[in-house]
A and B are shown apart, each in its own frame.
Chain A
Amino acid sequence: MNLLEIINLTTHFQTPDGIVQAVDKIDLSIREKETFGLIGETGCGKTVIGLTIMRLLPPTATVGGEILYNGKNLLEVSETGMRKIRGEEIAIILQNPTTSLNPVLKVGEQIAEAIRLHQGLNKHDAKKKAIEMLDSVRISSPSRRANEYPHKFSGGMKQRVMIAMGLACDPSFIIADEPTKGLDVTIKAQIVELMKEMTEHKAMLLITHDLGVAAEMCDRIALMYAGELVEYAPLDEIFEKPLHPYTIGFLNSLPKKGLVPIPGMSPSLINFPDGCRFHSRCDYATGECKQKHPDMVEMGNGHFVRCFHARS
């Protein structure tokens, strides 16, 4: 059963330089209790997908398509209805914990706020619950820490606070946007462990550019390039039988594979090149790739790819 189904989703931004097509005709579905990894390089539009689901986009954005959550189209829910869903049913753990916590509010209060709003607890009980949440993300002496301000927390601790805040109202679906960005290796491993443990029975969309983290946590993985999905498949398939040249390039750029970079730059999201968006950086590109835009095709085993040469 699909908990979340995204159909033909487009998110465009009006800017002085033109229309930025950050998300372009994306289809994807997330099953209950599944962790779905969305991977791509910076600026490919993966964060925008998360914000579009939460309807947290600036007024310059226009959204098309459907986002079905439990069969209900989130794009048609009223703003008041959406406020009830945010934090209670769907939570987002935003990137950059350092800037995502309000510097002038106590950490405990920031967690308790969502609990008060959605669960109707009074100030005292909400605070108690917030302290329990801090304890569950392994912050030591949580009742003291709850009364401190974010500047007294280290980067890893702030990320734990963000996780506690996201999970405070026990949402059934979590969007985690780069939860391990900017953390050093040991802290990163701890956060991955913590997230795995805390979201075991929940569905999650994990947005990251870190394949290692994705390999640890995800059941299925999608690769995003220049506003569209180029390949998605169960985790093992991606690592064992990558089909799209971009995926292969991405895997080869891992440190243990020798850090081979993909040559060239991602295209601008304002003017896409004709044909396949990846052709200028692709070793296998032919005349067809320069003229025609490939469709997503199924290769069996739930493995989809957007490439003319995938079968060869």
Chain B
Amino acid sequence: MTISYVLMQNLRRNRLRTGLTLVAFALPMAIFVAAISFVVALVELSAASQKELRLAVHQKTTITNMLPEALRRKIEALDPDRQRLTAVCGMRWFGGRVPGEQNTITSLAADADTFPIVYSDTNLTDADVAEWMRERRAAVVGQAVAERYGWKVGDLRTLTSTVPPYLSLEFKIVKIVDNPTRQNFFYFRRDYLQESRKAAGSDDPLCNVFWIKCRSAEALRSLQKDIDATFAHTPDETKSEDENAFAANFIQAAGNIPGLMQAMALVVVVIIALVAGNTMMMSFRERTRELGVFKAIGFPRLRVFIIVLGESLMLALIGALLGVLPTVTMLTLFPLPRLNFGPITQLRISPVAVVGSLIIALAVGIAAGLWPAYQAMRLRTTDALRSVA
């Protein structure tokens, strides 16, 4: 009679209870793995953008107050030898919509010459860059956007801006970017926007943000200080932030979904711990006599301890698998493509989250079984045999 045999028999004994416990364990676990996947995706994204070493410079009052495009030269002049920065890319918000659609696409006009350098994470090949420089209407589109509207490379598409003068511009898609950091963006050339604005009677070469590609984290910090100091007390006072700090403002404004997910994950862990603990207490109480019998026939204390703890672990692990496996399968088949929360465009389950969930389940299993197992180990055989369920 092996321990695993005893464990399985014990779980099978009260099938109803085991079943109820497993469901009560599996459902929160399903939430947990999804919530943690979301958080992991964000952490990975922010780590990835950190590596890009980009610094955002925008007007101090708010990003919707614009800066003149000439600021780019002034920023470049701060580092004439290119010791600290590689390139500066001015950007202007376009906020285009596909005609007839409600959703505004994160569409931005970017300086054509420096865009491929500053946004090296778009992975443009030399041929892509050549096409981007040659085609005035060129657009580089994130995969999530392209998939939502069914766009392919080479397509001609029209977007209508949601900011004055509400231009409708035609774009030629030259590249679809599959990098997770650039899924939800639409970039095109700022000279094209500027010409079109001029034709519509608004000749104002302005930018919302200048993105600076820096050589190192130290260079980024020092540029951040120098730039804000240089433009302090000028009509174009600036505020510089690294990419993650810049994004954090928007994450808060979108309701802090990562915070919600973290809170949910925490609550879920509490729930499963209570559920598992409850079941283990119940089965321990009902089986006090049986454990007494084990002791009477000479099971060592440690073995009794392991039998009770093992049952708890097994229960937790099966419950976790029942929650995690269907969720992983579902989300792998249907990755919620329209989730569309800022940078996170799809809820894909990450392996880290799965492993994390199983570890949490194991920890909960141990925590839930520890007290009953300890009590089982300390049982006095005579008391146990005498006890009534």
Q: Do A and B bind each other?
A: no
Binding site for B on A (CB under 8 A): none
Q: Which residues of B contact A (CB under 8 A)?
A: none
